[in-house]
Amino acid sequence: MERVLVTGSNGFIGSHLVEHLAGLGLSVLAVDHQPPRFGEPWQWPGVRTLDVDLRADPLEELVEGRDAVFHLAARPGVRGSWGADFGDYLSANVTATHRLVNACFHGGVPRLVFASSSSVYGETTGPSSEADDCRPLSPYGVTKLAAEQLCLAYARRPGSPLSVVALRYFTVYGPRQRPDMAFSRMLFACYSGVPFRMFGDGTQKREFTYVGDVVDATVAAARVAARDEIVNVSGGASVSLLDVLTVAAAVTERRVLLDVSGARPGDAWATVADPSHARRLLGHRPRVSLAEGLERQARWLRGLGQDQLKVFVAEEGR
């Protein structure tokens, strides 16, 4: 693997992936239609950046000669997917994915790694396995499941040159996390004194996964022998939000003030992954503990300038 394409390269996970691939000495074409959230575009050796709208721009030249394509571009978030904005989710998550995977198929790309989500599972009573039925609880989850299955359909087409590994990420956190996500809001609340808006009573659980562990699994997915695989990428333990608040207070040495609201529609009460397939296929085992990962995210947040922090202030005002 020498020449790769990364979509969603200005995003939270995408920027970490591009940085890692550049560190491996690969030739990286990094594309995004959104500006970097925290300042100037990332500058790494061997990386060429382009502003590309996957929903409308020509894609054939982008994928030509690529050994692997990492498709991370998407419209994220459960809350916004209800109602009037669904058309944007549909175009960004389904139409754009179809155009990209079709270009990969006709361009002879050997491997597409697709960033899916644990949101495809819906409510579960135990660890979610890749073989489980998927019953998403939100329109966002529906679009991610549709996009995932589109990619796999192309890999399963007779005579297809394209193989696909779809990675179901479980609640990713770490430096550069979107300001609307729980850990970002929580840490900002600790340092600013603004109450943390908690949806639900805090007993809901998530399998939180550090972004560096996600990147390791994503790169491994481009290299393994596979035809059409789905793989959970998770952090190793399902933790309640109340327990995370305790860790955040310890990491920041600050109290976390709370503003408790009702649970949001579309949020599962608990997510927990069966990691066995990731271990077998990718050799993936998470390395970063919740306390260590949250400390790294807190350190990054403390290093932001006033202009960069404005996005957190704006998010709290929504």
260 to each of 88, 141, 273, how far by Cα in Å? 29, 25, 27
Write 20-23 long-range contacts (CB < 8 A, 24+): 20/215, 20/219, 21/219, 22/46, 22/47
Helices (H), 90-228: 96-107, 139-156, 182-192, 211-221
- Say how many C-beta atoms besides its own lie within 10 A of residue 314's C-beta: 11
| Catalytic position from the list 89, 121, 140, 210 | 140
For residue 125, give every residue at least 6 positions away whose Cβ sits within 8 Å of its Cβ, in sequence order, or none. none
Residue 140 annotated in active site: yes
Residue 187 and residue 195: Cα distance in Å, rounded?
Answer: 10
No. of helices (H) and no. of strands (E), the chain? 11, 13
Asked if 121 contacts 232 with a C-beta cutoff of 8 angstroms, the reply is no
Q: How far is CA 211 from its chain centroid?
A: 8
Helix, strand or coil for residue 131? Answer: coil
Place of tokens 């571009």: 73
Q: Which of 303, 158, 128 is nearest to 230 (CA)?
A: 128
Residue 256 and residue 276: Cα distance in Å, rounded?
Answer: 35
Catalytic annotation, residues: 140
